[in-house]
């Protein structure tokens, strides 16, 4: 299949997430780590392949293409892939709480601007955020195919 017909990422509907609050109780994820240099991921593709293989070996799929990233240092980003149930051989975690969401669209080079805007936006809404996760809703190939590169910032409130 060529880039125009292959679909590995589901089409994203920004209206379902933009300005919305979602609440999770024990939402299941598997967790992995991406090595970064000054926040630039070096092995993201390999980590995603490894995690996806574990999910598929369990007879599951990643729910809604939901893969959250949390930058924990200049050298590491934790990734969380949503699953239906625990996956053998993976670090299984659960998330609970309320998360306020804002959707951005554009080049990853704008990530710093998005975080600054998100910080201002949540304060204007009266929220205090304890953690922020990024959801890169499509891989680069699917973003090119769809013509949009949506990124959701989710702040735990």
Write out pLDDT tens, residues 30-41.
999 999 998 888
| Maximum CA extent, the chain | 48
Report the C-alpha gap between 31 and 38 in whole angstroms: 21
Architecture of domain 16-156: Alpha-Beta Barrel (3.20)
pLDDT tens string 41-85: 888 889 999 999 999 999 998 888 899 999 999 999 999 999 999
Is pTM, for the whole model, over 0.85? Answer: yes
DSSP secondary structure string for all residues of the chain: --TTT---SPPP-GGGTTT-EEEEEEEEEEEEEEEEETTEESSHHHHHHHHHHHHHHTT---GGG-EEEEEEETTEEEEEEE-SS--TTSEEEEEEEEEEEEEEES-GGGHHHHHHHHHHHHHHTT---SEEEEEE-S-HHHHHHHT--EEEEEEE-
Rg over alpha carbons for the chain, rounded to the nearest Å, is 15
pLDDT score recorded for residue 7 = 60
Q: Does the pLDDT of residue 92 top 80, yes or no?
A: yes
**Of 4 and 90, more confident:** 90
pLDDT tens string 97-145: 999 999 999 988 899 999 999 999 999 999 999 999 999 998 888 889 9
Write down the domain spans for the chain.
16-156
CB 148 within 8 A of CB 142: no
């Amino acid at each position: 299949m060529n880039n125009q017909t292959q679909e590995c990422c589901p089409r994203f509907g920004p209206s379902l997430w933009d300005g919305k609050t979602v609440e999770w109780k024990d939402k299941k994820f598997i967790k992995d780590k991406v090595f970064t240099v000054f926040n630039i991921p070096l092995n993201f593709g390999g980590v995603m392949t490894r995690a996806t293989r574990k999910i598929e070996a369990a007879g599951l799929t990643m729910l809604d293409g939901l893969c959250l990233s949390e930058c924990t240092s200049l050298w590491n980003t934790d990734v969380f892939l949503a699953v239906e149930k625990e996956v053998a051989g993976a670090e299984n975690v659960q998330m609970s709480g309320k998360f306020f969401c804002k959707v951005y669209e554009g080049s990853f080079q704008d990530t710093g601007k998005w975080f600054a805007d998100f910080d201002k936006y949540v304060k204007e809404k009266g929220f205090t955020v304890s953690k922020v996760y990024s959801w890169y809703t499509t891989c680069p190939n699917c973003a090119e195919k769809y013509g949009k590169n949506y990124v959701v910032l989710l702040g735990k409130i």
